């Protein structure tokens, strides 16, 4: 008999819903949910192909233990015993500061809650973090300090109602395709589309204005737009007066960002800058959409606060189809943050340093908790030897962290590393124990998408033999460590989260079944959830302007490395491609890494399209094929980061934003040469 299971896509943060059709333990088909408010019966190519990888022969089916440098299959019992023995040994020898836990944006909310609880209660450390550090930690920090809440202000389905959309640092149709479709719908309904991107992408065809800025000059561009708005009296004076603070300081800072000055730094012609500022300020409501082109800089947090400045200056916050909206990368990166898989907060963004919050969790969890903030991912992999025990779940850090070779040195220096994954990833090579996890279709739980929408995932098939969900593994280990974490089911974990976290107070599986989803904040059982944030007041009372100066990237082109290297995602792949790379249709389109280079630059260096070139930075060299094109500005080259056999991140710079600690993936100095044959 065919069973139909409604669930949520495991790839990007759009959170499309679909039905999986299964017979026994095989999935036979997929059909999009027509009623879903975000996807409305559509899926992108990744969504349509989101289950083939589950049955790939590469799936890990047994725990692996490394002995004398070689992995051997082992029983769960012996793998657990070895982990517990080494946790106890490292704890006795070095103490809790020697542990680091990397949680996963691919795991459910309930699993992330368990993982951070395990780190804090069993390992006595707040050093738990996840890949938000490498994508949207500046959104959490920047929006939190500007608005009092670090999440998207509006809902995806409002986008077609916008009169103007500013898309900056986002190749939306490839990275978040269903939101790309919503932007095109807005365009069809008459919205003005402003694109700020050094590359021409699908959206260039739909944009009214394309601001081709030099990577790393976003603050200068945004300050320039704000200065034009003020000089032309297009600001929302009432909103600024009634709802915000810090405006005078911002106004003073903007004075020097004349269109000519901005053109000199960003490369954007002053006429286009002025037109973009006028359009954004006068066509209301106006929405800002952004992604990693904004966040992955040493100024990531300041970039985000500059977007918040622009939105507040024009009164574009707290209204339908307006606001500042980060497009979260992974399916549950929003949820992993929300659940406290971060080194400074428990679930619901409650500070570990706040006595009242910590006391509440101590009482509920019946354990003494550390008052000290933990290490971020970037800090865990900063100094080889600092961390003695890594516990890494569903995250291929060797692939995804900047300056991969340095990450490898940190893993090699650790005394013990545990990895959970579906596949034997790059990071697993450096583990002592590798545990076979189960996928999104083999478990119950929830994911939270980019617009704070908590949605169910449901079990379509039983876990493949000998695999276990990450949540089950964590609970079993906690039990062996003498700290039982027993829950009847995923729903009862959500009940604990709701009981301890005011912004999720009204969330329960009963309500999710009834309503389909809930957008937080949802403080009580009668609350319908929040589609638009900051309507009457900001979460922090008044919105805060920050006076921010342009600051150049940490590593700029010079005589030896004359190009700016930037990186990103392509439509057919997803992050480290552990899943999409094991899906026939997705992996056949772009099977290998490449570098996009401007045609004038290529001609000057006698580089032909599809010829082999060496791309080098101060950290390494890769040989890949050239994609010669006019879709990128001269002086800038671009590479996707998906390919494990040609790791782009051996090239990227691990200089990080001092506030959010994100690495500067989007700008580093590079050179390109025809490859020696
Ligand atoms: Fe999945 Fe994102 Fe594609 Fe929707 S847009 S189907 S969530 S990958």
**How far is the centre of ligand 1, averaged over its atoms, from the C-alpha of 7 (Å)?**
12
- Give the model's pLDDT for residue 22: 94
Which residues have C-beta within 8 Å of that of residue 391, sequence separation ≥ 6? 99, 100, 101, 102, 119, 123, 417, 418
Which protein residues are within 6 Å of ligand 1, measured from CB?
9, 11-12, 14-16, 39, 43-44, 46-47, 176-178
**How far is the centre of ligand 1, averaged over its atoms, from the C-alpha of 520 (Å)?**
21
Q: How far apart are CA 412 and CA 93, in angstroms?
A: 19
**How far is the centre of ligand 1, averaged over its atoms, from the C-alpha of 586 (Å)?**
13
Total residue length of the chain? 677
Contact criterion met (CB below 8 Å) for 3 and 22: yes
Pocket test for ligand 1, best of 7, 8, 9, 50 (most atoms within 8 A of CB): 9
Which residues have C-beta within 8 Å of that of residue 79, sequence separation ≥ 6? 63, 64, 65, 433, 435
- Three-state SS at 451: coil
Ligand 1 atom nearest to 331, measured from its CA: 7
Ligand 1 atom nearest to 44, measured from its CA: 3
Q: How far apart are CA 541 and CA 551, in angstroms?
A: 29
Question: Over the range 619-642, which residues count as b (16 or more CB within 10 Å of their CB) and which as e?
Answer: bbebebebbbeeebbebbbbbbbb
**How far is the centre of ligand 1, averaged over its atoms, from the C-alpha of 298 (Å)?**
29
Q: How far apart are CA 389 and CA 477, in angstroms?
A: 15
- Give the model's pLDDT for residue 572: 80
Q: How far apart are CA 300 and CA 548, in angstroms?
A: 12
Ligand 1 atom nearest to 45, measured from its CA: 3
Pocket test for ligand 1, best of 15, 46, 569 (most atoms within 8 A of CB): 46
**How far is the centre of ligand 1, averaged over its atoms, from the C-alpha of 172 (Å)?**
11
> In terms of DSSP bridges, do strands 663-664 and 653-656 run parallel, antiparallel, or are they unpaired?
antiparallel
- Give the model's pLDDT for residue 401: 81
Q: How many angstroms separate the Cα of 146 from the Cα of each of 153, 317, 574?
A: 12, 12, 31
Residue minimizing CA distance to atom 3 of ligand 1: 44
Contact criterion met (CB below 8 Å) for 68 and 58: no
Residue minimizing CA distance to atom 4 of ligand 1: 16
Ligand 1 atom nearest to 42, measured from its CA: 6
**How far is the centre of ligand 1, averaged over its atoms, from the C-alpha of 10 (Å)?**
8
Write out residues in the chain with pLDDT < 50, as ranges: none
Largest Cα separation within the chain, whole Å, is: 71
């Amino acid at each position: 008999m065919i069973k139909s299971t409604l669930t949520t896509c495991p790839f990007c943060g759009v959170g499309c819903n679909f039905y999986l059709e299964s017979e026994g333990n095989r999935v036979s088909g997929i059909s999009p949910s027509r009623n879903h408010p975000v996807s409305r019966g559509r899926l992108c190519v990744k969504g349509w192909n989101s289950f083939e990888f589950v049955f790939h022969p590469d799936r890990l089916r047994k725990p692996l233990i490394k002995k004398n440098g070689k992995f051997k299959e082992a029983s769960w019992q012996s793998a657990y015993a070895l982990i517990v023995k080494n946790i106890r040994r490292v704890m006795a020898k070095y103490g809790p500061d020697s542990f680091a836990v990397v949680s996963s944006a691919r795991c459910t909310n309930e699993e992330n809650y368990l993982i951070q609880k395990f780190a804090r209660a069993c390992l006595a450390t707040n050093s738990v973090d996840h890949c938000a550090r490498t994508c949207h930690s500046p959104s959490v920090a920047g929006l939190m300090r500007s608005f009092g809440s670090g999440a998207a202000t509006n809902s995806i389905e409002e986008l077609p109602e916008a009169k103007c959309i500013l898309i900056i640092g986002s190749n939306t149709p490839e990275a978040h395709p269903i939101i790309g479709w919503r932007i095109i719908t807005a365009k069809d309904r008459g919205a003005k589309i402003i694109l700020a991107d050094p590359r021409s992408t699908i959206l260039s065809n739909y944009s009214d204005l394309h601001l081709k800025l030099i990577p790393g000059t976003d603050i200068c561009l945004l300050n320039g737009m704000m200065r034009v708005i003020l000089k032309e009296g297009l600001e929302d004076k009432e909103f600024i007066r009634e709802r915000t603070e810090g405006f005078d300081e911002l106004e003073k800072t903007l004075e020097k960002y004349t269109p000519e000055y901005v053109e000199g730094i960003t490369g954007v012609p002053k006429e286009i800058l002025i037109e973009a500022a006028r359009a954004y300020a006068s066509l209301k409501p106006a929405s800002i959409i952004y992604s990693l082109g904004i966040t992955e800089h040493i100024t990531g947090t300041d970039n985000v606060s500059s977007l918040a400045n622009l939105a507040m200056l024009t009164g574009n916050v707290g209204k339908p189809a307006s606001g500042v909206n980060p497009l979260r990368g992974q399916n549950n990166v929003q949820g992993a943050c929300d659940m406290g898989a971060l080194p400074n907060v428990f679930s619901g963004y409650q500070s570990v340093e706040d006595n009242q919050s910590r006391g509440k969790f101590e009482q509920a969890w019946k354990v003494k908790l550390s008052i000290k903030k933990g290490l971020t991912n970037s800090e865990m992999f900063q100094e080889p030897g600092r961390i003695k025990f890594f516990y890494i779940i569903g995250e291929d850090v060797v692939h995804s962290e900047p300056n991969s070779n340095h990450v490898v040195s940190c893993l090699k220096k650790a005394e013990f590393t545990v990895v959970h994954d579906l596949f034997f990833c790059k990071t697993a090579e450096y583990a002592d124990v590798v545990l076979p996890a189960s996928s999104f279709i083999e478990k119950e739980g929830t994911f939270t998408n980019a617009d704070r929408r908590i949605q169910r995932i449901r079990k379509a098939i039983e876990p493949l033999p000998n695999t276990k969900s990450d949540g089950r593994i964590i609970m079993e280990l906690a039990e062996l460590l003498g700290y039982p974490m027993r829950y009847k089911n995923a729903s009862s974990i959500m009940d604990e989260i709701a009981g301890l976290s005011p912004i999720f107070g009204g969330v329960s599986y009963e309500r999710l079944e009834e309503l389909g989803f809930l957008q937080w904040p949802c403080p009580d059982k009668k609350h319908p959830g929040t589609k638009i944030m900051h309507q009457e007041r900001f979460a922090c009372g008044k919105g805060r302007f920050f006076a921010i100066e342009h600051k150049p990237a940490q590593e700029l082109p010079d005589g030896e490395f004359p190009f700016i290297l930037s990186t990103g995602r392509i439509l057919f792949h997803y992050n480290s491609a552990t899943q999409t790379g094991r899906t026939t249709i997705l992996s056949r389109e772009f099977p290998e890494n490449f570098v996009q280079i401007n045609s004038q630059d290529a001609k000057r260096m006698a580089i032909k399209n599809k010829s082999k070139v060496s791309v080098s930075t101060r950290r390494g060299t890769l040989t890949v094929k050239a994609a010669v094109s006019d879709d990128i500005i001269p002086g800038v080259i671009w590479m996707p980061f998906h390919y494990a056999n040609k790791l782009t991140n051996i090239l990227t710079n691990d200089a990080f934003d001092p506030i959010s600690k994100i690495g500067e993936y989007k700008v580093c100095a590079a050179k390109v040469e025809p490859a020696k044959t």
